[in-house]
Amino acid sequence: MNMNAISADSIKEKLYHGIRLTKEDGLFLYKECDFLDLAKMAKAQKKQLSGSEVYFNVNCHINLSNICVSRCKFCAFGRDKEDEGAYSMSPKEAFDYGSAHVDSGITEFHVVSAMHPDRQFSYYVDVISRLHAAYPHIHIQGFTAVEIYYFAQISGLSVRRVLTELKNAGLGSLPGGGAEILDDGIRSGLCPHKASSQEWLDIHGTAHELGMKTNCTMLYGHVETIENRVEHMMLLRELQDQTGGFQAFIPLPFLPENTGLSHINRTSSLDDLRTIAVSRLMLDNIEHIKAFWIMLTLPIAQISLDFGADDLDGTIVEERIMHAANANTETGISKNHMIDLIKKSGYIPCERDTVYNILHRYSEGIAEEA
Ligand code: V47
């Protein structure tokens, strides 16, 4: 008998003793592990980290523009300037859009744009400054690392300086987008004009050094292999060992409709749930795994809470990037709907702010664990 063979039992044993899983363990979990064994292990890890709590926030996405010079193959959102449906908000329009949603109790503006051909870096600083000056109590999470990289290119400033100026204007943290798959072979086919894998990682490392928390994502279900996915997780884990600045990992299933890869089938729900569970087990140093319901759909996001996820993102108000690729979900849901979904899964809904301070625990009617 091969004593070194990987099995669900050998992985359980490692988890029990707090031993870090290897790349080979990750490949086993993806390719061979029984689905329900995997779910059990991931749920146990989730319970150890966050008990019965499941987090969400009340946020408003502001997508400043869809005019983009990058035109990544996986994206249905980007347009050329002269294309039908191309838009770009002025700083005032962005401010008015955000302001219109302030009374609904949001605690976060989630500001993401595109690599716009003409906007100067000062435009982005202006947008953040206006929102922050008027609503200093609302956290602004904004600009993926690829946007930060682009701002450095168009301004001639260093990444550190770009981040510092945005932080001084009121930017609180960075979202996790733009990571796609951290493999330059894959990136050269998928998004050749964007920051490389190392540049993406370095920008997050710099943000962490500047005291800004960030999230990280993985876009999966296109041309990558399972090996690419596990290696992607290990690169994130490595950076997190050094900086501790990642708050949450968000696996994003690729939505092929209206993209340059529309011949690819949408991921299966089994793959989505397996990816959530594997990430919970591999990313032992990232506290939260977010099930982004906009792409997973609400029912799968709800089930993912038993596969290791502990966060359902936000109420969102109006999401545009995924809906350009026919996400087949609402563009936003109410807070009560979010609370109800989490409660019906047997978990305690906890409204959080962007950096995971708990604002309200909705524990009525839910049994607390001893
Ligand atoms: O980087 C674009 C992805 C990301 C498609 O940090 C697509 O909390 C699937 O980063 N199918 C942007 N995915 C969104 C993002 C994000 C979303 C939610 C929460 C957070 C967070 C961050 O969306 C892009 C890309 O990976 N994306 N097009 C598509 N067709």
Question: Does residue 4 register a pLDDT over 70?
Answer: no
Decide: helix, strand or coil at residue 302: helix
Cα of 366 vs centre of ligand 1, distance in Å, is 33
Structure tokens at 96: 């008015």
pLDDT digits (tens, 9 = 90+) for 307-341: 999 999 887 666 777 777 777 777 778 889 999 99
| Res 303: pLDDT | 97
pLDDT at site 176:
98
| For ligand 1, atom 28: residue with the closest CA | 75
Q: Which CATH superfamily is domain 52-369 in?
A: Aldolase class I (3.20.20.70)
Q: Quick check: 115 pLDDT over 50?
A: yes
- Nearest atom in ligand 1 to the alpha carbon of residue 180 is 26
State yes or no: pLDDT of 21 exceeds 90. Answer: yes
Q: Which 8-state DSSP code applies to residue 231?
A: H
Atom of ligand 1 nearest to the CA of 74: 30
Is the pTM higher than 0.85? The answer reads: yes
Question: For residue 2, what pLDDT is reported?
Answer: 52
Q: What percent of the chain has pLDDT over 90?
A: 87
Rg of the chain's alpha carbons, rounded to an integer? 20
Taking CA atoms, 111 is separated from 172, 173, 335, in Å, by 11, 10, 20
Handedness of CA 189, 192, 195, 198 (dihedral sign): positive
- Note whether 173 and 355 are within 8 A (CB): yes
* Residues pairing with 109 in the sheet: 60, 140
Residue with tokens 């966050």: 50
Which amino acids bring their CB within 6 angstroms of ligand 1?
A: 74-76, 144, 175-178, 180, 215, 217, 219, 250, 252, 254-255, 259, 292, 295, 313, 321-322, 325
pLDDT at residue 335, rounded to an integer: 87
Distance from C-alpha of 40 to C-alpha of 273, rounded to nearest angstrom: 12
Q: pLDDT above 70 covers what percent of the chain?
A: 97
Between CA 356 and CA 370 the distance in angstroms is 23
CA of 4 to the centre of ligand 1 (A): 38
pLDDT at 3: 47
Average pLDDT over residues 197-206: 98
167 CA → ligand 1 middle, Å:
22
d(CA 209, CA 185): 28
b/e string for 120-130 if b means 16 or more Cβ within 10 A?
ebebbbbbbbb
Torsion of the alpha carbons at 82, 86, 91 and 94, rounded to the nearest 10: 170
Residue 111, H or E segment: strand 108-112
pLDDT tens-place string over residues 264-283: 999 999 999 999 999 999 99
- Higher-pLDDT residue of 233 and 367 is 233
Tens digits of per-residue pLDDT, 38-61?
Answer: 999 999 999 999 999 999 999 899
Instruction: Name the residue ranges covered by the structural domains of the chain.
Output: 52-369
pLDDT in tens, 209-239: 999 999 999 999 999 999 999 999 999 999 9
Work out the average pLDDT over 127-137. Answer: 98
pLDDT at 365: 78
Average confidence score pLDDT of the chain: 94
Q: What is the pLDDT of residue 328?
A: 73
Whose CA is closest to atom 4 on ligand 1? 177
